[in-house]
Structure 1
Amino acid sequence: MSSSIAPPFLVAGQRVALVAPARKISTAEIEPAMQMLRAWGLEVVLGESIDAAHHQFAGDDDLRRRDFQHQLDDPAIRAIFCARGGYGTARLVDALDFRHFAEQPKWVVGFSDITVLNSHLLRLGYQSIHGVMPVLFGQAGGEAAVESLRRVLFGEPVRYTAPPYPLNRPGTATGELVGGNLSLLHTSTGTSSQASFVGRILFIEDLDEYLYHLDRMLLHLHRSGQLAGLAGLVVGHFSEIKDNVVPFGQTVNEIIHHYALHYDWPVGYGFPVGHEPDNRALVVGRAATLTVGPRGSELAIG
């Protein structure tokens, strides 16, 4: 069983909010998501950060913080969907007050830049959802991702599989899920948003990074001792990865394998998590079981 607190699952008729704690976004861009959420029986409200703009941000830091705080404090809001990622969530998190949230926890949904919130909430002892965001609800090939989000929000179990991969390390691990975007996990180190990996199944993904950047981040997690106590490792999508003119010499998965060799926990590559249309929802803080064997990998989330 998970020791972190799960907010109540959603039921039809409840109210949910869409906010933008990072990059700016328009109402038109999230219209497909609003239609889908209404089809699930939910009432949708838009935060003041939607359609706001301050350079690349969805309003200045104070507006985005104020909007997110309002949704945290409003007891009628049962889930907060972060409309998109980009950059900016970490600029707000230390100024947020979770006292009212603690009295009546609610689901916070997002990935990528929202990893800092997933991690921060887990540090505080609460579960959240690493899953597809409203800006991406209408993308081709994303139907399974959206359906997985619906399932976890409404309390249905999910189970994901990945095909066999040469670098997989067989074994079985059970523990709470922790993780998300590798860059955000790396930059959360030493902050109030750093969640422990000890005894947990870590999942990682990233977008638009250089191979040597990924190596440097994994090296830091290794040198700082954060990988030592893992129960297992789930490797998701690493998308649009770049190399230098002089090649780094290893693929992303080879880089990950290089550091995994220092430990004995099971590793499963190729899970549908990250910056691709097939981005299945994971409940950060929820107990899960990772099984890696000759026929591939499976991640079961209760």
Structure 2
Amino acid sequence: MITLKSIKPGSTIRIVSPAGKIEEKHVMPAVKWLEEQGYTVKLGEHVFAQHYQFAGTDEQRAADVQEALDDADCDAIICSRGGYGTVRIIEQLDFTQFLEKPKWLVGFSDITILHSRLHNLDVPTIHGVMPRFFFDEEGAPREDLTSMMKLIKGEGISYDVAATEFDRPGTAAGQLVGGNLSIVNSLHGTKYDIDTAGKILFLEDIDEFLYHTDRMMHQLKLSGKLDHLAGLILGDFTDMKDNESPFGQTVHEIIKKAVKDKDYPVCFGFPGGHDKKNLALAFGMDWEMEVAEEGTKLRLV
């Protein structure tokens, strides 16, 4: 993996909207805060554009992301939100100049596509909070934000995760990969698919039917994605839905069954994803995990 430059006051951060549309009121407080910390912030020309559900046309969104990728003075790119749309522009993006001056990319949900693309280019990324969720109801920085800033500034970080009845004890070390389950699943068979062998896989999702989650876990299993993991970390599965005729299993029961014949450690309930807390994770970098009866310890190596 390429070693990225840690940002510091004076560094330039670009904010782009690769997917869904977003209003200024959800971004500008984050811009103000970052500038108060000493960073230079540049907004993509079409960050607040609207084209149906998207932040501008495919061409506009791709142009903003490309400009950020190519900017040699930029040290980090933060996506304004997820939603849907990154897959529509991924083929238009050229990473040639980016690889001459690689930089951090921050986001989650639909941004999983960019995480996967950059992982296959040996560039680490940050699965972390986006501007709309930087602050709590009182306007104070959330732990989501402070954890993301620690990673982007090159500081060490570790987490203690409460135990659940579904955890499987054990220790593991390896590169961390993954993201949104639906997106990871959708990339199977494409050139943006990721190799999970020997790695710690992180998954989260939102607003999915239980039967669909079961189908996605079976696809990961049948494709071999779950066979040779070093470990598995499950984040939040938020606002899950059931049919009128119940599926009969919770999302945790579905996942536990999918990996019941494996022997690697499994941590359920990491506070990451679409729920109230979204602690930052550095994808492509090495982590250690220890799952025990009293809980899970996760540490960036």
Could you say whether these structures have the same fold, taking a TM-score greater than 0.5 normalized by the shorter chain as the test?
yes
- Alignment of structure 1 residues 1-302 onto 2, 5 Å: 4-140=1-137, 143-302=142-301
The residue type paired with residue 66 of structure 1 is: A
Moved segments of 4+, more than 2 Å: 138-142
CA distance in 2: counterparts of 1:120 and 1:139, whole angstroms: 31
Aligned residues: 299
State whether residues 80 and 107 of structure 1, in contact with CA within 8 Å, keep that contact through their aligned partners in structure 2.
yes
CA distance in 2: counterparts of 1:65 and 1:204, whole angstroms: 26
The residue type paired with residue 20 of structure 1 is: S
Per-residue CA distance 1:176-207 (angstroms, 9 max, x = gap): 00011000000011112111111100011000
State whether residues 142 and 279 of structure 1, in contact with CA within 8 Å, keep that contact through their aligned partners in structure 2.
no
CA distance in 2: counterparts of 1:142 and 1:279, whole angstroms: 13
The residue type paired with residue 200 of structure 1 is: K
CA distance in 2: counterparts of 1:139 and 1:223, whole angstroms: 41
Q: Which moved more, 1:169-178 or 1:27-36?
A: 27-36
CA distance in 1: counterparts of 2:110 and 2:123, whole angstroms: 18
Per-residue CA distance 1:240-284 (angstroms, 9 max, x = gap): 000001110110100000011021110011111110131011011
- Cα 1:204–1:142 shift into 2, 3 Å: farther
State whether residues 142 and 278 of structure 1, in contact with CA within 8 Å, keep that contact through their aligned partners in structure 2.
no
Flag structure 2 segments of 5+ consecutive residues without an equivalent: none
Per-residue CA distance 1:97-154 (angstroms, 9 max, x = gap): 1111111100010000001101111011110110000122134497111100110010
CA distance in 1: counterparts of 2:45 and 2:22, whole angstroms: 11
CA distance in 1: counterparts of 2:280 and 2:300, whole angstroms: 10
TM (norm. structure 2) is 0.97
Q: CA deviation at 1:36?
A: 2.1
Aligned sequence identity (%): 45
SS in 2 for 1:124: coil
State whether residues 21 and 49 of structure 1, in contact with CA within 8 Å, keep that contact through their aligned partners in structure 2.
no
The residue type paired with residue 211 of structure 2 is: Y
Per-residue CA distance 1:53-77 (angstroms, 9 max, x = gap): 1111011101100110011001111
Q: CA deviation at 1:23?
A: 0.6
CA distance in 2: counterparts of 1:31 and 1:139, whole angstroms: 15
Q: Which moved more, 1:21-30 or 1:195-204?
A: 21-30
TM (norm. structure 1) is 0.97
